A and B are shown apart, each in its own frame.
Chain A
Amino acid sequence: MGLKEKIFAKSLYVFHVSSGSCNNCDIEFIDCLTPRYDVERLGITLVGSIKHADVMLCTGSANRLTIPRIKILYEQMPKPGYVVVWGACGSSRGMFKDSYNTGQPLDEILPVDVYIPGCPPRPEAVIDGFVKLKEKIRSKGKAK
């Protein structure tokens, strides 16, 4: 495993983006930062700007107004960067797939690394998702 990947996986800076969600997933993520689940002890922290982020966390069913902005945000994220998609809406638009205001699902716009399904996913599922992301990052280092 490369040293770079080892260090990278230990501390993930996450930038959260909502592409038109009901807010449940977003609240569950902030719940993860609060004392009961406290993902900061795992090295995960929230940042205020995409330019400081390692991971872009997307929720929501990709509303038409947000799609161009999400593309711009992804381009601004410094690479290497990872994309985690959260919730049933993020994974496949969920029950909003037939709406007139939802465009493509998020994984046709962004290269998604980890899907965390659920409506909303429990904080334990979130931690599990981030563990899978760390394994993926480390295994990328091994493949080299």
Chain B
Amino acid sequence: MSHKAHIPIGPYHPLQEEPEFYKLVVEGEKVVDVDVRIGYNHRGIEKISESKSYDQSIFIVERICGICSSSHPIACAQAVEDISGIEVPERALYIRSICQELERIHSHLLWLGLAAHFIGYNTVFMWAWKYREPICDIFETVTGNRQNYAMHKVGGVRRDIEKEHIPYILNRLNDFTKQLNMLKGAVLDDPVLHERLKGVGILTKEDAIDYAALGPTARASGVDIDARRDHPYAVYDRVKWNVVTRGEGDVFAKTVVRILEMFESVSIIRQCLDKMPEGPIDSKPKDIPPGEGIGQIEAPRGECFHYIKSDGTNSPVRHKIRAPTYMNFPTFRETVIGETVSDATIILAAIDPCYCCTERMLIVGPDNKTAMDMNDLVRLSQEKTQRIKDRYNNRILGA
């Protein structure tokens, strides 16, 4: 009878920013089951929101997740605007789109760095995070902060993009495009990465639809959904851009989708800066009538969904928040079973889990005997990459 071992991953690892715990059950090298326990980041935000005003709720939802700190406020503001039919000024819609796309770029770069670390490409990790810094500089110039921008409000945005900032932003984007081309070549043209990532952690189209997967996780499996095109908001129906999809559903396809999306984002920002009209940025709404509203936007990880029910007072009766990782996370179970232990970390990283967004994520390490911990799993993953590199080098050198 084969021996089943339990491997806890977590709860604390330096590059897993949040605590979570996955219990992998392995037989030999293969993963046969996985259990996830989340709950470590549950801060009861939905309940807190019921005792705050709508203006205050925007600040709280900004801190649901550090990386999606533009997505959640826009979705929340849209839900309130949906209740009351508030018209948001044109210029504010352009500014919202620009913030969204800048956030998408910085989130995908962050992901690229972390995923590269998991498979042992530490240079890509350092470069990706270094090239993230100019994007944070643009945010600081426009919004005043590198993260947690406090930019959005019900009825518009809080700050304007000054005319003198626009050449600065365009210059940075030009430099960034060159750097992105370099990263794209380094990652997508590397034969070792092709061998390491192709065919690993495949999520089929049927499973992606059954689990209602979202964002790049779904688009890499051939499911053609994107809330910017399907449920148009801000100015996405007024600029030209493409939805990037792939059919294979493996980790490599998810990498390709994210990298190509960054190019689309740069193009959208350039068009927005070019077409942005003059005008007010805030429609200054006064009262929110009773009713219910929904805000759906495309965060970097997928569609973000906010539902607000109002009774005419200044606080919501109910504020339901559903972040994209909540739907994507259960697909991890589907994709990791049958794969080897050394691929477990990269398969997890490929769904780009934003643990705080799901408001829970915790992998509990109970009193099972620990055969390996997270450091060991990352080390196994990096060793597998090294083996592939050595094999490839031997082939090239003409063994």
Contact = CB atoms under 8 A, between A and B. Distances in A.
Interface string B95-131: 0000000000000001000000000000000100110
A99 B17 contact: no
Contact of B41 (A63, A98, A100): A63
B14 A21 contact: no
B12 A34 contact: no
Given A99-B43, A101-B44, A119-B63, A22 B356 contact: yes
A102 interface: yes
B69 interface: yes
Interface SS of chain B: helix, strand, loop or mixed? loop
Interface in B1-58: 11-15, 17-19, 39-45, 47-48, 51
A16 B15 CA distance: 9
Contact of A20 (B41, B47, B66, B133): B41
B147 interface: yes
Interface bracket on B = 35 or more
Interface residues of A, number: 41
B187 to A, nearest CB: 18
Given A26-B18, A66-B40, A21 B356 contact: yes
Most chain B CB inside 10 Å of its own CB: which residue of A18, A26, A49, A61: A18
Contact of B130 (A36, A48, A49): A36
A104 interface: no
A23 B67 contact: yes
Interface of A: 15-28, 30-31, 34-36, 46-50, 60-61, 63, 65-66, 69, 73, 95-96, 98-102, 119-120, 122
Given A27-B67, A27-B147, A34-B133, 17 more contacts: A15-B12, A18-B40, A20-B19, A20-B41, A21-B356, A22-B63, A23-B65, A25-B66, A27-B110, A30-B17, A34-B129, A36-B130, A48-B374, A63-B42, A96-B44, A98-B51, A101-B43
